[in-house]
Structure 1
Amino acid sequence: MSSIFLPVRIEFGMDSSLRVGSEFSSLNCTKVMIVSDKGVIDSGLLDRMTKSLAESAIQVILFDGVRPDPDIACVEKARDLYVSQACDGILAVGGGSSIDTAKAAGMLVTNPGPIAGLVGMNKLTNPLPPLIAIPTTCGTGSEVTNVTVVTDERHFKAPIVSSYLIPKIAMLDPGLLLSLPPNMVAATGMDALTHAVEALTNNVENWYADASALEAIRLISQALRPATANGNAAELGRMLYASTLAGVAFTLARLGLVHAMSHPVSGLARVPHGVANAVLLPYVMAFNVVGNPRGYAQVTRALGVAERENEVATAVAGVKEVVKLNHQLGIPKSFKALGVDEELIPLMIEDTFKSGNVAINPRRTTKSDVEKIYKAAFTGESPLTFVE
C-alpha cells in the first residue's frame, strides 16, 4: 500500500522569495521570526525578503544563531526568542541546518519538550506555528520533508519525524543559490542524489516516491557538474528542483543505510552531511546491489549510463558512475582524507544501528557489514570489492 500526504505548497521561480510578505499575510501573521545563519545574513540574501515583509506590515525578529548540525541548545535559544518576542510565524532561510532549526524551534513552541521525548516517529501532538522555508542550497530537501534532525549531548543526530514538521509553503528561488561556493553545490547536490537513490531502492514501496526519485536522479546527473563548474541560474535551478523532488521522495519512502551511517560521521567527526553521504554512497550501493539489482539498475539508467548485459552489471555500472562523479566534483574519496579519527568507528557502528533506516535497507545488514564499509570508506579502497 502506498500513502501520499504532502501538505505543502511549493512556489518555484526566480525572485519567488520576494513574495514572502504577502505569503505570511495570507497566513494571518504579523510578527515573524527569521531563522538563518551568519553566512546567509552577511551575503545580503535576506535584505529583499525583509523589505517584502515590511511592505506587508509584518514585523521581523532575527535569530542568527544557527550552527551546523544544530544541537539542543541552539534549538531552545530559537524557541525562547520566538516566545519572548510573541512571534506568530517562522521564516527559515538557508540550508538544512537553518530549516531544521526552524522546524525544531517551532515544534517546541507548540509541543512541550524535552526534545528527547519527541525523537522518533509521530511523537508530536500539535501543529507548528506557520512556517515558510526558503532553501539556499540544493541538497537538503527539508523545505518539503517531515523530518528535523537535532544533535544531542552525545553528538548523536536524533531524527524527529512528523507530518506537522512539513512547512506550509516552500519557496524555491534559484537566484538565491548564485553565490553558493562550488564545493557547497557539490556536497549538497550529492546529498540530494543520496536521498533519491535511497528512497528509490529501499524496501518501502511507494510509486509517487519512485517517480520523484527517478526524475531527481536524472536531473542531478545532467545538472550537477555544470552547476558546480559554472554556477549559472538555469543549472542551479534544475538542482534546486531536483533536491525538492528528492525530498518529496524520501518523505514518502524514507532512506537507507547511507544515512544511517553518515549521521554518526557528521555527529561524531563533524564531516558535513553531504560530504559524508557522498563518500559512503558508492560503498553502500555496491553492498546493496545483491539486495535490489533491479532498483540499482534503474538508478544507473537515470544517471544516463548505458544498459549492460544484465541488471547486476547495469547496477555495478551505476556504482562506477557515482565514483566518477565524486572525483569530478572534488569530493574526497576517503574519510581519512577528511581527518576522521579511525578510533571513532566503534561509536559510529553503535549509532548506525539506532537508525530505523537500517531495517528498510534492501540488504540485511549486520554490525560486521557496517564495520567493513566504514573501514573501506576510511581508507578509500574500491567500492567494487563489495559487489557479490
Structure 2
Amino acid sequence: MSSVFLPVRIEFGIGSSTRIGSEFDSLKCKRVMIVTDKGVIQSGLLENMTQSLADSHIQFAIYDRVLPDPNIACVEQAKEFYFSEQCDGILAVGGGSSIDTAKAAGVLVTNSEPIMSYTGIDQIKNQLPPLITVPTTCGTGSEVTNVTVVTDENHFKKPIISSYIIPKVAILDPNLLLSLPPHLVASTGMDALTHAIEALTNNIQNWYGDSCALEAIRLIGKSLRPAAANGNITDLGRMLYASTLAGIAFTVSRLGLVHAMSHPVSGFAGIPHGVANAVLLPYVMSFNLVGNPHAYALAANALGISPQENEMAAAVEGVKEVIKLNHQLGIPKSFKALGVNEELIPGMIEDTFKSGNVAINPRRVSISDVEQIYKKSFSGDSPLGFIE
C-alpha cells in the first residue's frame, strides 16, 4: 500500500517571496513571528518580505536566535517570544534549523506538553498556528515535510513526525539563494541528494515518493556543480526545486542508514548535517547495494550514468559518481579531516540504533556493520571496499 497526504501549497518562482504579505492576509493573520537566524538578517534577505507584510498591514516580530541543530532551550525561547509578542502566525525564513525551530515552537504554542513528549509519530494533538516557510538553502526540504528535529540534552537529534507539522504554504524563491556561499550550496545540495537517494532505495515502496526522488536526483546531478561554482539563478532554482522534491519524497517514503548515522555525528561533534550526510553517503550506498541494486541503478541513471551491462554494475558506477561529486564540491573525504574525535564512535553507534530509519534500510544492519562504516568514514578508506 502507498499513501500520500501533502496539504502544503507550494509557490515557486523568482520574486515569489515578495508576496508574503498577501499570503498571511489570506490566512487572516494580524501579527506574525518571523523565525530566522542572524545570518539571514545580515544578508538583507528579509527586507522585501517585511516590506510585503507592512504593505498588507500585517505586523511582525523577529525571533533571530535560531541555533544550528536547535535544542530544547531554543525552541522554548521561540515559543515564549511568540506569546510575549501576541502573534497569530509564523513565518520561517532560512535553512533547516530555522524551519525546524518554527515548527517545534508552533507545536508548543498549541499543545501543552514539553516538546520531547511529542517525539515519534503522530503524538501531536492540535494543529499548529498558520505556518509559512521560505527556504534560503537548497537542502533541507523541511519547507514541505511532516517532521521537525530537536536536539535533546544528550546531544541526540529526535524527530517529531505529524501531518500537523506540514506548513500551510512553502514559498520557493530562487532569488534568496543568490548570496548563498558555494560551500553551503554544496553541503545543502548533498543533503538533498541524500534525501532523494535514501527515499528511493529504502524498503518503503511509494510510487509518488519514488517519482519525486528520481526527478530530484536528475536535477541535482545536472545542476549542483554549476550552482556551487557559478551561483547562477537557473541552476540555483533547479536545486531549490530539487530540494523540495526530495523533501516530498522522504515525507512519504522516509530515509535510511545515512540519516541514522549522520544525526549522531552532528549531535556529538557539531558537524553540519549536510556535510555529515555527504561524507557518509558513498559508504552507506556501497554497503547497501546488495540490498536493492535495482533502485541504486535507477539512482545512478538519474545522476547521468550511462546504461551498464547489469543493475549492479550501474549501481557501482552510481557510488563512484557520488564520490566524484563530493570531491568536485570540496567535501572532505573523512570525518578525521573534519576534526571529529574517533573516541566518539561508541556513543554514535548507540544513538544510530535509536533511529527508526535503521529498520527500513535496504540491507539489514548490525552493530559491527555500523562500526565498520564509521571507521572507514573516519579514516577516509575507499567506500568501494564494501563491494570490491
Please tell me the TM-score bracket, short chain as reference. over 0.9
Q: Distance in 1 between matches of 2:113 and 2:343?
A: 34
Residues 149-175 of structure 1 show CA distances to partners (whole Å, capped at 9, x for unaligned) of 000110000110001111000000000
Counterpart of 1:178 in structure 2 is 178
Q: Quick one: which amino acid aligns to residue 151 of structure 2?
A: T
In the TM superposition, 1:305-316 aligns within 5 A as 305-316=305-316
| C-alpha displacement of 1:307 | 1.7
Paired residues of 2:90 and 2:130 also in contact (CA < 8 A): yes
Counterpart of 2:51 in structure 1 is 51
Q: Distance in 1 between matches of 2:202 and 2:359?
A: 9
Residues 194-223 of structure 1 show CA distances to partners (whole Å, capped at 9, x for unaligned) of 000000000001000000000000000000
Counterpart of 1:82 in structure 2 is 82
Q: Distance in 2 between matches of 1:248 and 1:129?
A: 21
Q: Distance in 2 between matches of 1:65 and 1:198?
A: 31
Q: Distance in 2 between matches of 1:89 and 1:119?
A: 23
Residues 69-108 of structure 1 show CA distances to partners (whole Å, capped at 9, x for unaligned) of 0000000000001011210000000000000000000011
Q: Distance in 2 between matches of 1:259 and 1:118?
A: 20
Counterpart of 2:33 in structure 1 is 33
Counterpart of 2:296 in structure 1 is 296
Structure 2 residue matching 1:289: 3-state secondary structure: helix
Q: Distance in 2 between matches of 1:347 and 1:123?
A: 27
Residues 31-84 of structure 1 show CA distances to partners (whole Å, capped at 9, x for unaligned) of 000000000001100011000000111111110100100000000000001011
Counterpart of 2:123 in structure 1 is 123
Counterpart of 2:270 in structure 1 is 270
Q: Distance in 1 between matches of 2:213 and 2:222?
A: 14
Note if 1:326 corresponds to 2:335: no
Bigger drift between 80-89 and 191-200 goes to 80-89
| C-alpha displacement of 1:115 | 1.5
Note if 1:62 corresponds to 2:62: yes
In the TM superposition, 1:132-211 aligns within 5 A as 132-211=132-211
Aligned-pair identity in percent equals 74
TM-score by length of structure 1 reads 0.99
Q: Distance in 2 between matches of 1:76 and 1:207?
A: 38
Counterpart of 1:259 in structure 2 is 259
Q: Quick one: which amino acid aligns to residue 331 of structure 1?
A: I
| C-alpha displacement of 1:113 | 2.2
Counterpart of 2:17 in structure 1 is 17
Q: Distance in 1 between matches of 2:310 and 2:304?
A: 16
Counterpart of 1:335 in structure 2 is 335
Paired residues of 2:36 and 2:98 also in contact (CA < 8 A): yes
Q: Distance in 1 between matches of 2:281 and 2:85?
A: 43
Paired residues of 2:134 and 2:172 also in contact (CA < 8 A): yes
| C-alpha displacement of 1:373 | 0.1
Counterpart of 1:237 in structure 2 is 237
Structure 1 residue matching 2:381: 3-state secondary structure: coil
Residues 1-29 of structure 1 show CA distances to partners (whole Å, capped at 9, x for unaligned) of 00010000000000100000000000000
Q: Distance in 2 between matches of 1:229 and 1:308?
A: 30
Q: Distance in 1 between matches of 2:306 and 2:15?
A: 38
| C-alpha displacement of 1:112 | 1.4
Q: Distance in 2 between matches of 1:112 and 1:343?
A: 39
Q: Distance in 1 between matches of 2:354 and 2:118?
A: 15
Q: Distance in 2 between matches of 1:312 and 1:173?
A: 38
Q: Distance in 1 between matches of 2:343 and 2:112?
A: 37
Q: Point out where structure 1 has 5 or more consecutive residues left out of the alignment.
A: none
Paired residues of 2:31 and 2:61 also in contact (CA < 8 A): yes
Q: Point out where structure 2 has 5 or more consecutive residues left out of the alignment.
A: none
Q: Distance in 1 between matches of 2:245 and 2:272?
A: 21
Note if 1:212 corresponds to 2:208: no
| C-alpha displacement of 1:111 | 1.2
Residues 294-313 of structure 1 show CA distances to partners (whole Å, capped at 9, x for unaligned) of 01000100000112211111
- Detail structure 1 runs of 4+ shifted over 6 Å in the superposition: none
Q: Distance in 2 between matches of 1:108 and 1:130?
A: 13
Note if 1:112 corresponds to 2:116: no
Counterpart of 1:351 in structure 2 is 351
Q: Quick one: which amino acid aligns to residue 146 of structure 1?
A: N
- Report how many residues are paired: 388
Structure 1 residue matching 2:328: 3-state secondary structure: helix
Structure 1 residue matching 2:307: 3-state secondary structure: coil
Q: Quick one: which amino acid aligns to residue 115 of structure 2?
A: I
Paired residues of 2:72 and 2:150 also in contact (CA < 8 A): yes
Counterpart of 1:228 in structure 2 is 228
Paired residues of 2:107 and 2:115 also in contact (CA < 8 A): no
Q: Distance in 2 between matches of 1:55 and 1:80?
A: 27
Counterpart of 1:280 in structure 2 is 280
Paired residues of 2:78 and 2:105 also in contact (CA < 8 A): yes
Q: Quick one: which amino acid aligns to residue 288 of structure 1?
A: N
Q: Quick one: which amino acid aligns to residue 298 of structure 1?
A: L
Structure 2 residue matching 1:290: 3-state secondary structure: helix
Q: Distance in 1 between matches of 2:213 and 2:206?
A: 11
Residues 121-170 of structure 1 show CA distances to partners (whole Å, capped at 9, x for unaligned) of 11001000000000000000000000000001100001100011110000
Note if 1:71 corresponds to 2:71: yes
TM-score by length of structure 2 reads 0.99
Bigger drift between 113-122 and 151-160 goes to 113-122
